[in-house]
Amino acid sequence: MDSLRPFLSACGGVLLTITVVRLLAFVSKGWRYRSLMKKLEKMGKPMPEHSSLLGHLLAAKTATEELPPAAHSSYILDRIARKMEGNMNGPPAYYFDSFPVSTPLLVVRDPFIANQVTNHPQVSAEKPTTLKDWFEPISGRGGMNLFTQNGQEWKHDHNLFLPFFNNSNLDATMPDVVEQMLIFRNILRKRVQSGELFRMESLTQPLMNDIIGRVIFNADLGNQTSGSHPLSDTMLRQLKLKFAANNVLDNIGQFNPLRVFSIWNNSRLLNQHIRNQILKRVDAFRDVKARHEQLPFNSILDQALESYYSEPDRKQSDLLDQGFLDLLCAQLRMFFFAGYDSTAATMSTCCYLLSKHPEAIAKLRAEHDRVFGRNVAACPGMITENPSILNSLPYTQAVIKETLRLFPPASAIRMGSKDLVLKGRDGTEYPTEGVSVQTSHFSVHRNPECWPRPLEFLPERFLVAPDHELYPAKGAWRIFEYGVRNCTGQAFVMKEVKAFLAILCREFDFRNCYDEVYADEEIDLTNVDYERAYLVEHGAAHPRGEFPCRVLLSGYVPGDVQ
Ligand code: HEM
């Protein structure tokens, strides 16, 4: 025991030193952030009342308490702005210091300012390092993935995966996408027969998991047909754990050791599942190449393997080196999440809004009659045969864009710089050095200066001529963000959701059951615009309750094609 004493005392000393160093780093960071905010406050920059001790945490707490349970942080940031003095819509941008929850932000709510961010040569490309913490449980590898990387590393990985997203390759995936949607249609038909109430996202999420499994690593995950696949299940559990303590102020929840362990363990399992899928596909890929077979489309993984094996001095029989396998694992974990989560939410919100707007579904059906003809059953085959037919659906596209305007699943963030001082329409200057610039898509999309009748569902906004009062302001619809770091998957999303609506909308009516499910609830919805399907955080922003609904056969009889 005596011989252990010096060892234990040395360990204690090391632990104490680490704790003191960490504490000092924390205090010095906090001091720096609070001082920066004080300086900006003295310069008269827009922000809520700032406390040297608590920053803007009290403003966040008050705003959170004025919202219904679990409302997404976009509502909190919007509410804080609306409570600031002056214009009742709040300032076009303001500073927000919620350290230690996050680093200081400049929250942008106006496209005029947001456009300056995405047009700036350096800032438009630069993500803040703190974003990695958000992604760590999802992609592993310290949260390093295409969303968070910078510089040469980002460029290299971006070029590795980008060819998957070229238009002809995406079109070539459509037969597989349609095949999964036909399984989904059969599931809906069964729900019609049973008449049961269900949550739409409990079906769109397995649908999207199966589609994304195919396009990432040519895998048949079978979520729709055989129950939850372990990979999908683990990702879903990870999101549940990550967002169990998603309240801006719930720092204690973030440090709960049990939760930290479960997230670590799930991350390990996610790596195992993704690695298995990669290794399975590498073997199949080699066989295909050895037989000189032509693939119908290159999956995201195939695309990366194609580049890997075409490097000089590399043979088709070589095993993947560890570094490349680690890179693939993290990026494919990210693609798996990014590929299903927000698209599944968008499909649900489309169905929700169509259930509330019979005039919109009538126009949608008329467009589908014109493009696909009167034989509803022929539509999926027509998409499979000729995927570019999806480019002839302007009203369907407008419905999707308007849905995404009102229910934006994501936002955008960039690292500020001393070279970028943003300017408001009124000439107010917003220095960005030392802060992350967060463009709130939620607030921009409801900004009444850019969107007449901002809370109304009006797909026509996206179809009118530039001189029409509904025509959107430049850069006001920025769901996929602009500039070099815009969404890699945007063309794929639009194709998938268009096919989804084209295959389903003439056959089914969606019945909104929010009133039935939440009949007894007594919560104040005033600050979420009386919207029962208000957004909550679960990876991307999702409609609360996953859209409880019933489906019925529409009985729609296609009209005469004009
Ligand atoms: C409705 C669905 C989706 C929405 C609303 C959406 C939105 C966004 C937004 C706003 C960004 C930029 C974030 C920022 O600027 O900080 C982004 C980036 C990205 N998205 Fe999407 N996304 C969707 C679906 C997808 C899909 C299906 C994929 C892939 C299969 C995908 C892959 C990516 C990637 C890889 C990035 C990072 C781009 C980079 O920085 O290089 N997204 N997405």
Does residue 352 lie in a domain region?
Answer: yes
Tokens of 353: 């809004």
Residue nearest to atom 28 of ligand 1 (CA): 489
Tokens of 234: 């683990």
Contact present, 112 and 424 (Cβ < 8 Å): yes
Task: Please give the distance, rounded to the nearest whole angstrom, from the Cα atom of residue 494 to the centre of ligand 1.
Answer: 12
Number of domains forming the structure of the chain:
1
Task: Please give the distance, rounded to the nearest whole angstrom, from the Cα atom of residue 366 to the centre of ligand 1.
Answer: 31
pLDDT at residue 196, rounded to an integer: 97
DSSP sequence for 5-61: HHHHHHHHHHHHHHHHHHHHHHHHHHHHHHHHHHHHHHTT---S--BTTTBTHHHHH
Residue found under tokens 């932000």: 105
Residue found under tokens 């898509």: 441
Residue nearest to atom 24 of ligand 1 (CA): 489
Residue 294, C-beta contacts closer than 8 angstroms, at least 6 positions apart: none
- Distance in angstroms (rounded) separating the CA atoms of residues 401 and 458: 10
Does residue 502 lie in a domain region?
Answer: yes
Task: Please give the distance, rounded to the nearest whole angstrom, from the Cα atom of residue 160 to the centre of ligand 1.
Answer: 16
pLDDT at residue 198, rounded to an integer: 98
Task: Please give the distance, rounded to the nearest whole angstrom, from the Cα atom of residue 148 to the centre of ligand 1.
Answer: 11
Contact present, 212 and 229 (Cβ < 8 Å): no
pLDDT at residue 88, rounded to an integer: 81
pLDDT at residue 247, rounded to an integer: 53
- pLDDT tens digits, residue range 216-227? 999 999 999 999
Closest ligand 1 atom, residue 149 Cα: 40
Ligand 1 binding site (Cβ under 6 Å of any ligand atom): 146-147, 158, 335, 338-339, 342-343, 346, 409-410, 412-413, 479-481, 485, 487-489, 492-493
Residue numbers of the domain that contains 396: 25-553
Classified as helix, coil or strand, 64 is: helix
Task: Please give the distance, rounded to the nearest whole angstrom, from the Cα atom of residue 440 to the centre of ligand 1.
Answer: 15
Contact present, 373 and 381 (Cβ < 8 Å): no
- Distance in angstroms (rounded) separating the CA atoms of residues 131 and 136: 9
Task: Please give the distance, rounded to the nearest whole angstrom, from the Cα atom of residue 490 to the centre of ligand 1.
Answer: 7
Classified as helix, coil or strand, 421 is: strand
Task: Please give the distance, rounded to the nearest whole angstrom, from the Cα atom of residue 147 to the centre of ligand 1.
Answer: 8
Tokens of 142: 């310290």
Task: Please give the distance, rounded to the nearest whole angstrom, from the Cα atom of residue 326 to the centre of ligand 1.
Answer: 21
Does residue 165 lie in a domain region?
Answer: yes
Closest ligand 1 atom, residue 215 Cα: 30
Residue nearest to atom 10 of ligand 1 (CA): 480
Does residue 265 lie in a domain region?
Answer: yes
- Distance in angstroms (rounded) separating the CA atoms of residues 92 and 89: 9
Contact present, 128 and 436 (Cβ < 8 Å): yes
Residue nearest to atom 36 of ligand 1 (CA): 487
pLDDT at residue 1, rounded to an integer: 57
- Distance in angstroms (rounded) separating the CA atoms of residues 453 and 447: 10
Task: Please give the distance, rounded to the nearest whole angstrom, from the Cα atom of residue 413 to the centre of ligand 1.
Answer: 12
**Could you write out the three-class secondary structure of 192-260?**
HHHCCCEECHHHHHHHHHHHHHHHHHCCCCCHHHHCCCHHHHHHHHHHHHHHHHCCCCCHHHHHCHHHH
pLDDT at residue 259, rounded to an integer: 86
Does residue 299 lie in a domain region?
Answer: yes
> DSSP assignment, residue 477?
-
- Distance in angstroms (rounded) separating the CA atoms of residues 404 and 477: 9
Identify the CATH number of the domain in which residue 484 sits: 1.10.630.10
Classified as helix, coil or strand, 509 is: strand
Does residue 17 lie in a domain region?
Answer: no
Residue nearest to atom 17 of ligand 1 (CA): 487
Residue 371, C-beta contacts closer than 8 angstroms, at least 6 positions apart: 389, 392, 393, 502
- pTM for this one? 0.94
In this prediction, the residues of the chain whose per-residue pLDDT falls under 70 are 1-3, 86-87, 245-255, 560-562
- Distance in angstroms (rounded) separating the CA atoms of residues 286 and 315: 10
Residue nearest to atom 43 of ligand 1 (CA): 487
CA atoms 525, 530, 533, 535: torsion sign: negative
ipTM (interface predicted TM):
0.99
Does residue 12 lie in a domain region?
Answer: no
Count CA atoms within 13 Å of residue 328 on its CB side. Answer: 28
479 burial level (CB within 10 Å; 0-12, 13-18, 19+): buried
From 333, 397, 487, the mutation candidate for ligand 1 (largest count of ligand atoms within 8 A of CB) is: 487
Does residue 9 lie in a domain region?
Answer: no
